[in-house]
Amino acid sequence: TSPLTHDSRIIVVGGAGTIGSSTALHLCRRGYKNVLILDVYGFPSDRAVYGPSQSAGGSDLNKIIGSSNSGTRAEITDMTMDMWRNDPVFSEHYHEVGELSAAGEPEHIASLRVSYEAKLKHPIKSKEVEWLGTREEIVKRCPHLAKASIDGWQGIWNFKAGWGAANDAVDSVGRELKRFGVNMVFGQSGTFERPMIDPVSKRCVGVIAKDGSRYEADRVVMATGAWSPSLIDLKGQCVSKCWIVAHLELSAEEAARYRSIPVVYNEEVGFCFEPRLIKDYEPGKDRWIIKLCDEFPGYTRFMESQPFGAERPVKVSVPRSHSAHPTDTVPDEGMKRLRRVVEVMLPEFAQREFVKSYMCWCTDTADAEWLFCQHPDHPGLFLATGDSGHSFVTLPSVGHQVCDLLEGTAPADRMRKWAWRPGQGDPNHTGRGGPDPLDLGDLEGWAHGDDERAE
């Protein structure tokens, strides 16, 4: 490929998502002047025009933010947390209310204990955690669980963790990108259809959008999250899955009692956050909302698809987005698990209906490490995907890694971890334990209307 200079034309596809927006931000901060982001949807505050990409991983009320334990995410955790606390683009969107990570089953408690012991060996992390071994100790840190069904729970209390206001943080990146003068194209003209490939050199020289618009570039970065395997043939290295989000509405009086509660995560049940006042939750109506998720292996949606680079249609798990299909609901069996989260963690609201529930998509690699590499057949085409369901926390820092990849300055061991690696494990079963993921096509209660690929 031609040498990278500050005048190189760089396209970030999926540039309004988590990894893509962070990549564009770090490119700008490193002095690149010719950055273009393309996305189906705009940043959250552009929603009057395009609607929020509710199915994008980064489009959410809150995400758990805290130090990571494995892979590159753990290696960059100091940078990540420093930026959440001190970088003005991110700091006002981070709420350090503490996090309880708990379990009730003996084998899960044992694995949390291993993780706790590992933290104790670290000079800084050891001061940030405490083991909570009884109901009383848990309630002391999380008083709102006094009436919850937590008998037998044990786990790690982390003082230096909390949640990030996901939509607002991504939006803040978007505002910063606008300040830098980054070009942005959303909608049909921003929707990647295929790369432009030079017929002789096989180099990627740009992007062709869904409406036929053509954009020339020296580098193209595909940060298209769960959509990546249906856009580019990744040879089975990533499998996209969805998880479920539900919103519970509280009155102002109820919300006052639950303000600033810690994040509570139990891998056998799910997790929930403190309530947030969401302006214009519906046009003209503000609402106090608690976001909660159940914990399970995710759902796939396998179908025939022909991504770029595949000689014939292949079986790929293709996201079906809530933005494109707003009447889609959650599978019945998933809804039962969501109700259980409320019954166990927030029993006061056990009878209350959710105001919203939808599915949100990620893409898993077999080893839960990122797929950050140049395409082996098409120089100039870079992949920045394989989030494996844990990448929002790295919003401030992940783009730094992608820039290192583009500049060829990433440490060799990191490049090896991120490398193109087909045939190494089955991403459908990414070390999450538990049963295999179910396929949405086999489940009752989720889809409405047509089942065509919309994106």
Position 373 contacts ligand FAD (CB under 6 A): no
Q: Judge whether 156 and 112 are in contact, CB under 8 Å.
A: yes
- Could you tell me which stretch among 133-141, 148-156, 184-192, 443-451 binds ligand FAD (CB under 6 A)? 184-192
Among 32, 90, 153, 243, binds ligand FAD (CB under 6 A): 243
| Residue among 206 and 389 whose Cβ is closer to ligand FAD | 389
Position of minimal CB gap to ligand FAD: 17
> Helix, strand, coil shares of the chain as percentages rounded to 5?
30, 25, 40
Is the C-alpha dihedral spanning 277, 22, 295, 160 positive or negative? negative
To 5 degrees, how large is the angle CA 310–CA 424–CA 309?
10
- Other Cβ atoms less than 10 A from the Cβ of 455: the count is 20
| Residue among 184 and 410 whose Cβ is closer to ligand FAD | 184
Among 9, 27, 53, 428, binds ligand FAD (CB under 6 A): 53
SS3 393: helix
Position 186 contacts ligand FAD (CB under 6 A): no
Position 17 contacts ligand FAD (CB under 6 A): yes
- From residue 425 to residue 444, what is the string marking binding to ligand FAD with x (rule CB under 6 A)? --------------------
Backbone φ/ψ region at 353: left (φ over 0), alpha (ψ -120 to 50), beta:
beta
Position 360 contacts ligand FAD (CB under 6 A): yes
Among 54, 385, 397, 401, binds ligand FAD (CB under 6 A): 385
| Residue among 13 and 410 whose Cβ is closer to ligand FAD | 13
HEC readout, 338-385? HHHHHHHHCHHHCCCCCCEEEEEEEEECCCCCCEEEECCCCCCEEEEE
Question: From CA 320, how far away is CA 332, in angstroms rounded?
Answer: 17
Give me the amino acid identity at 349: F
Cβ 388 to ligand FAD shortest distance, Å: 7
First to last CA, the chain: 30
Diameter of the chain measured on Cα atoms:
69
Q: Which two tokens stand for residue 180?
A: 């830098």
Phi/psi of residue 400, nearest 5 degrees = -60, -40
Position 71 contacts ligand FAD (CB under 6 A): no
| Residue among 349 and 358 whose Cβ is closer to ligand FAD | 358
Cβ 390 to ligand FAD shortest distance, Å: 5
Among 171, 176, 295, 455, binds ligand FAD (CB under 6 A): 455
Position 227 contacts ligand FAD (CB under 6 A): yes
Position 42 contacts ligand FAD (CB under 6 A): no
Cβ 200 to ligand FAD shortest distance, Å: 26
| Residue among 145 and 161 whose Cβ is closer to ligand FAD | 161
Q: By the criterion CB under 6 A, which residues form the site for ligand FAD? A: 13-14, 16-20, 38-41, 53, 56-58, 63-64, 190-192, 223-227, 231, 243, 245, 293, 360, 362, 385, 387, 389-393, 455
